[in-house]
Amino acid sequence: MTGTTTSTSAPESPRRSARRLARDLPPWPVALLAGIGVVLFALPLVGLVARAPWTGLWTHLSSRFVVDAAVLSVVSSIAAAAVAALVGVPLAWVLARVSFPGRSAIRALVTLPMVLPPVVGGAALLFALGRRGVVGGPLHDATGLLLPYSIWGVILANAFVATPLVILTVEGALRNLDRRYEHAAATLGASRLRVLWRVTLPMIGPALGVAVVVAWARALGEFGATVTFAGSLGGRTQTLPLAVFVALESNRDAAVAISLVLVALSLGLLIALSDRWWPSR
């Protein structure tokens, strides 16, 4: 009894801790390939920074063309994230909690936009909701509402690609949640809706937060579906990524300036979130 306590509480010998350190070092092929990976991702950034018009940066960023695109991007991406959360969370709850035939098919359907080329998604939206689309035609005839080539179209295209991220993240969090917390709430008299609102959602709060931010980031960077479904009309549907694409033809310095802003924003976001994804042990 006393023997075991002394051996565990004895300070570790220096040789043993050195050996443990050596075990944490990667074998050289792993280190080499990992290094190549880092270069692969760093190189474009270096190119962007090297090409940046540092002196005229502010002039470029404050031009009407860029400001319009930025405002549109911020508004539409936030709206898209809100739509993604509003639709994605209930969908995730159903997928995680209700067992019904065809559940796998439904899950595949609602997460399809994650693997679909965004351009195809945008085209599909157009065929469905365009002026001559299956639903868009009657909708336009009845209400005069036209989704493509409007900010509504931008939001819809963004939400289309961003919602699957919310669904997958939240469904995973719901499956990992200990159901006994919901059971405890129910025995305390909480209705099912109150359990969801007061217990389930707060308990998956961190995952939900990550899901919404990731959805927002995906919406902010969305290009393919947006350009196909909503076009690239300056001041109306031209978001920052579209503005970069257009500027590459006409005003390369402005394109680089916008790109830098997007890179800085994304990088800041990832660093802020890294603690949630990989909590330091």
| Comparison of 79 and 173: residue with beta carbon closer to another protein | 173
Residue 188 engages another protein in binding (rule: CB under 8 A)? yes
Residue 203 engages another protein in binding (rule: CB under 8 A)? yes
Residue 181 engages another protein in binding (rule: CB under 8 A)? yes
| Comparison of 131 and 194: residue with beta carbon closer to another protein | 194
Name the residue with tokens 């900010």: 151
| Comparison of 181 and 245: residue with beta carbon closer to another protein | 181
**To the nearest whole angstrom, how small is the minimum distance from the Cβ of residue 258 to another protein?**
40
At a CB cut-off of 8 Å and minimum separation 6, what does 176 contact? Answer: none
**To the nearest whole angstrom, how small is the minimum distance from the Cβ of residue 98 to another protein?**
16
Residue 178 engages another protein in binding (rule: CB under 8 A)? yes
Residue 197 engages another protein in binding (rule: CB under 8 A)? no
Residue 180 engages another protein in binding (rule: CB under 8 A)? yes
Q: What Å distances lie between residue 254 and 47, 193, 273, CA to CA?
A: 15, 50, 29
**Per-residue interface string for the shown chain with another protein, residues 132-171, x marking contact by CB under 8 A:** ----------------------------------------
Name the residue with tokens 């336009």: 140
**To the nearest whole angstrom, how small is the minimum distance from the Cβ of residue 174 to another protein?**
16
**To the nearest whole angstrom, how small is the minimum distance from the Cβ of residue 200 to another protein?**
11
Residue 176 engages another protein in binding (rule: CB under 8 A)? no
Q: What Å distances lie between residue 229 and 121, 132, 162, CA to CA?
A: 9, 13, 15
**For the chain, how big is the Rg over CA atoms in Å?**
25
Instruction: Give the integer Cα–Cα distance in Å for 188 and 181.
Output: 11
Quickly list DSSP for 22-74. Answer: HHHSPPHHHHHHHHHHHHHHHHHHHHHHHH--STTHHHHHTSHHHHHHHHHHH
Instruction: Give the integer Cα–Cα distance in Å for 105 and 123.
Output: 22
Binding site for another protein (CB under 8 A): 178, 180-181, 183-192, 194, 198-199, 202-203, 205
